[in-house]
Amino acid sequence: MRCPYCNYHDSKVLDTSHDSHGGIRRRRECFKCKQRFSTYERPILATPLIVKQDGTREEFDREKLFRGIHISCAKRPVSAEDIERLVGHVEAELQKMGKSEVSSRVIGDMVIKGLKEIDQIAYIRYAIVYLRLDDLGSLRKEIDNLLKG
């Protein structure tokens, strides 16, 4: 592992910890400059191609999903850790499916379900776009359903 400070090619591992998603966090120290830094390793498993509503296909993009959820959670008491956890959950579920292609609706449904549990306002923000709530009547109906359940 190269040092991010001096670019030296070798470092020693001081500490290793595991997270619930199979990732490994390592605390390292550079042999040359003695700076300490952390690295994070996670297994790269195959994710299916995403089939969009118009029929086009694209690679699953973890960062794109994170950005979309982050926008819905803007100025809400939702931590980046909560968003990262939701994105990790969606990605893990896609990998578990073992399919080569998955509809974008499947991802949207997973995100909607997760946001409903994390923050109801973020859920409504995401739902406005995802469920195409394009008038006040449909928005009110969704809010009423949320308040009932």
Q: Per-residue confidence of the chain (149 residues) as pLDDT tens digits?
A: 899 999 999 999 999 998 766 789 999 999 999 999 999 887 766 788 999 989 999 999 999 999 999 999 999 999 999 999 999 999 989 988 888 899 999 999 999 999 999 999 999 999 998 888 889 998 899 899 888 87
| Strands (E) located in 7-117 | 11-18, 24-30, 36-41, 49-51, 57-58, 101-103
The torsion defined by the Cα of 73, 75, 80 and 85, in degrees rounded to 10, comes to -30
The domain segmentation of the chain, as residue ranges, is 11-41, 49-148
